[in-house]
Amino acid sequence: MPEKYSILKDAAIQIGSGGSAGFVEVCIMYPLDVVKTRLQLQNKNMSRTDPHFYNGVIDCIVKMCRTEGPTSLWKGILPPILVETPKRAVKFFTFEQYKQFFLFGNTSSTPVTYSLAGLAAGVTEGVLVTPFEVVKVALQANKSKMKEVPSTLVVAREILHDGGIGKNGLFKGLVATAYRNGLFNMVYFGFYHSVKEYFSSYENQKAEFLRKLAIGFISGTLASCVNIPFDVAKSRIQGPQPEMGRIKYRTTFGSIMTIYKEEGYVALYKGLLPKILRLGPGGAIMLVVYEYLHAFLSEKLK
């Protein structure tokens, strides 16, 4: 088989498997992302008597369904749907490429290889998804009933009109998004592949499936705990900032320090529970779907 054809085939398999895995994950787990964003956008100035103040995951889900309708839990899903296939395709494809780069002369990958490749893939992914994240957060933050919520295209046009393409517009929060995705993927891929290789696989297919699912769940959970402060900062930077026209959250570390000084360190972990509930099982779903699809496509495209 010509080398060029082999490279293109591998790329097609990685992109197809990664894109499909991401699409499946977002369709199943998306409502928890909406809940996470709503909790992260709450600050100390919000009254507890406000009908849109949420006391936790369940309270947020109940209030959103009651005041905005059950479909409000899928607010802003179009941008992730549009970007999810290329986003996850980029995530897994670039991870495989960076993995070769970070071998550092070794013949096989090490935990450092997996972690550095994950970090680089996450930063690359973050650059790609930032415009979609800006639009998504704007839609998720809208507390109107579903029929009153502007369309994705209208919101994107408003953001472009008000802030342009740069750091005040569609690429607002780029650095925070890159930190968030980079740290997540560093832990996610580093832990998953290192632990999966450390423990021997099972011959029984069901047991092997559950083994991969468990490692994927732990990987997603640990990665969520590590990157949550950057996720909160990203939500604050990209979300509405209604304080007399003053932009309070501009830079990543400046936002983290502001949140810490005004609301305490616990505020940096807002939305952690729905994030874990989404990205623990979501991470497991994504890795397992990717691996099984990768094996399936590799077999079919021999």
**What would the pLDDT profile of 94-126 be if each residue is shown by its tens digit?**
898 899 899 877 778 899 999 999 999 999 999
Helix, coil or strand: residue 103 = coil
d(CA 10, CA 289): 17
What single-letter amino acid sits at 189?
A: F
Which candidate, 116, 114, 123, places its Cα nearest to that of 91? 123
Q: Give the pLDDT mean for 212-216.
A: 87
Task: Give the residue among 221, 226, 215, 225 at the shortest CA–CA distance from 192.
Answer: 215
Taking the C-alpha atoms of residue 195 and residue 168, their distance in angstroms, rounded to an integer, is 41
Predicted pLDDT of residue 124: 93
Domain architecture of the chain: domains with CATH: 3-300 (1.50.40.10)
User: What number of CA atoms fall less than 13 Å from residue 178's CA on the CB side?
Assistant: 13
Q: Per DSSP, which regions of the chain are E strands?
A: none
pLDDT, tens digit, 9 for 90 and up, residues 121-162: 999 999 988 998 999 899 888 888 877 888 888 999 999 998
Find how far residue 57's CA is from the centre of its chain: 18
Quick one: tokens of 271? 């939305």
Residue 190 backbone dihedrals phi, psi, to 5 degrees: -60, -45
According to DSSP, residue 77 is labeled: -
Q: Which two tokens stand for residue 60?
A: 């947020």
Interval 170-184 mean pLDDT: 96
> Mean pLDDT across the stretch 271-279?
87
- Does the pLDDT of residue 173 top 50, yes or no? yes
Q: Name the average pLDDT for the chain.
A: 86
Q: What span, in angstroms and rounded, lies between the C-alpha atoms of 123 and 282?
A: 20
Q: Tell me what the mean pLDDT of segment 59-80 comes to.
A: 88
